[in-house]
Amino acid sequence: MNKAIRLLISLAALGAAALSGRAQPAVKLLVVDMAKVLENHYKTAEINAKFQAEGQKVEEQLAELSKQIQATGDQAKELIEQSKNTVLKEEVRKQAEADAQKKIQEYQQLQNEAQDYRAKNQQSFQQRAQNHRELLFEEISNVARDIARARGATLVLDKNGPSLMRIPVVVYADASYDITDDVIKEINKNRPPAPAPAPAATVTPKPATPAAPAATEPPKP
């Protein structure tokens, strides 16, 4: 039994020695600034422009609701004043009081509608922006991976990302190891051409208006 154990230990030692003697591939590192690539991605500008246009429509709708809220509030105040006006008949004051209550409810309903509308759109924008960002990061990661493989790299680090200590993961990297510009160039190579600007309208010059004849005094007899 002791001989068998010694034999196993010897074989394990020989295997470990063989593994330690085997040449390991050299580690080649590259770095990329993912935030910079995202910022310079042509799709980022397209998405921002789309969200800006949608946000403008939301603000216009909120402005319209604000006008309705203001008008309803003014009507409610006017009806409240009528309900307290002793010059008016009692039935008129009671009707004004009832109408004022309805306007107050309408005012509150419009306020809630505006708040819900703003909250829902804000949440929608945030979720959609997150989804777009994740898709773009996936696209950027794939491009960075292909470039790294073509250069024989074994590891790519995001030099923009912070560590758990909230400090940069990459403290320093030689410029020759940075593939950020290469990734940006590859990402934007399929950028669609910008639409041609509309031709400027040609203005046909109008004929000069002849000057009015100078007034002359009638000849004296």
What amino acid is encoded at 137 in this protein? F
pTM: predicted TM-score of the whole model, two decimal places: 0.67
The pair of three-digit structure tokens given for residue 25, joined into one six-digit string: 């591939």
The beta strand positions in the chain, using DSSP E, are 29-32, 155-158
Tens of pLDDT, residue by residue over 111-132, are 999 999 999 999 999 999 999 9
Tens of pLDDT, residue by residue over 168-200, are 778 888 899 999 999 999 999 988 887 666 565
Cα–chain center distance at 218: 77
**Per-domain boundaries in the chain:** 25-188
Q: How confident is the model at residue 52 (pLDDT cuts 50, 70, 90)?
A: very high
- Does the domain at 25-188 match CATH 3.30.910.20? Answer given as yes
What amino acid is encoded at 220 in this protein? K
